Structure 1
C-alpha cells in the first residue's frame, strides 16, 4: 500500500458546507444515443500543493498560462460531479456527491438533483465508482436512506476492501474514510449487488476496471444507439493541471504506480478511439474528448447540446 493516500486526509476537518451559492448552474443535460445524461454539481474542493504528489509550481503556471488562466495562487478548485442516466423507463445514478461537512464549498448534490426535477426515491440503481466520501456521501441523510428503491452496484474488490480487515489496518488518520464508506453503504446491504471486472452491470452499461486510485475503482461505459460515453470516476482530479502533467497524483491515490498505469491506458484509449468522456472531477459540465499531444494530453470540451 503506497503512502501518498495516507498522508493528509484533512478535508473532513473543513467548515460547515452549503448548497453551491449564487448564480452557478447546478445541473446540465446531454443526450447520448436514446438516453439523457444529467450532470449534477455538488461543489468544489480547494486543493493545495500539499495534496498534489509531484507538484511543481513552474510547471503548474505553464499549464495554466497555456489555458489563459492566472498563475497558481495557493489552491486549485477540484470539482465534484455526480450523474444520472435517464433512459425513459429507468433512472440510474452514478455516484452521489459529498456528505454534509465535507468541505465549505460542497454539499449541493441533492439540491442539484431537486433542481433537475429528479426525486431520489425514483432512482432505480446507483452505480458506485468507489467508496470515497465524495462519491457515497449523498447515500444517507442521517439515518435515512436517500435511495430506498435502488439497487446499489459496487465492484466486488472495492466492497471487500472497505468492509474488510485491510481497511481496518489503515492508519488512524484515514479511519474516517473507512467509517464513512461503511456508514454510507451498510444500510443498503440488502440492496447491494457486487460486480466483477469489465462486466455488463445493466443493459447498455459496462463496468471498466480502473484500479489504483482505490483497489476496486471502476468506470462505466454507456452504449446507446451507436453512441458511447465513458464515466471514468477519479481518473483525473485536477483537469487544468493533470492533462498537462499526467504523472501528477493526488494524496488520495492509494497505489501510485497502478494509478499512473491506469491513467495512461485510459487516456490513450480515449484519445485513440475519440471516445466521449466525463468524470467526477472534470470541470462542469464535464463532457468532452481527449487529444494526445507530445508529452501531455488535452481535454476538449464537447459542444453544448442545444437539443
Structure 2
C-alpha cells in the first residue's frame, strides 16, 4: 500500500472571463463585444489617431488656413497581425480588413483581437498558454532547470517558482514570487538531493540522522501550464510512515505556508476550502495565489481524507497529517 499526502499551489487570473455553459466542453471560451460602454476608452483612443484642427493651430505646417481639414489624409498603417494598443489595432483592422491581436490586452489565459467590424473578440483558455515573466510574451515551459547552489527554477512559469535542493527539517522547499510578494512552502522533514526529470523533482525523505528512509519520498510536480506546483509525500509502507513520524519528533508531519511582505493569507472557512493568498489590504475575493486543500489517501482503497489545519493567521498556515499507525 502507499499513503499519499498532497497539496497544490496554483496561480490565478483575477481578470479571467468565466467560460460560458456552452463552452464547457472546449479548452477555450470565446466572447465578443461591440464598441460600446465597455470599450469607450479604446474607441476614444482610436479617434485620437486623426487630430482635430482647431482655430489655434491653423498656422501649423500641413494645414490650409482657409480649410477645416488637413491637406492630406493620414497614411494608412502598415498591415500586420498585431498592434500594441486597442486604438492601433482598431485602425489597422479597419484599414487592412483583418483581425488584429491587441498586445496590451494579452494575459496568460486571454487573447483579444480587434476586428474590421469594430468589435473585440476575446478567447479565454482554461490553462495558461503564455507568460511575460521576463518582460516579453513567450510560451509557458514547466521544466525544471538547475540553478547555482543546487536549487531548481521553473524554465518559463506564469509565476516565478524555485525548488530547493537538499534541506534540513523545516526548511523552505518551494518559493513562489508574485508582483506583490513571495510565498514559501516548508516541510517538517529533512530531504536529500532530488532526482529531476522534466517538470518533476523526487526527494528522498531523511531520518533524524540524515539517512534515507526506505519507501518514503516527496515528489514535487510543476503543473503542465506552469501556473503552480503540487508536492506529494508518498509512503510505501506502514514502516515508512512510522519512520517519517519518528523523524518529525513531536512536531508531526506538516507543511507550512508563509506569506512574505506585501501578501497575506485569507483564513478559509473549512479545511476543505483551501487557503487564498491576496495582496496585503487588498480584495480578499481576488487571490494572486491559491493553495488547494491538502488531503491524504491510501492506495489500497478508501476515500481521501482532508488534512487538518492546526494554525492559520495572516502570515502563515500549518497543515498537519499523522499517518495511520
User: Is the pair's TM-score, using the shorter chain for normalization, greater than 0.5?
Assistant: no
TM-score (norm 2): 0.24
TM-score (norm 1): 0.25
Greater C-alpha Rg: 2
Higher helix share: 1
Higher strand share: 2
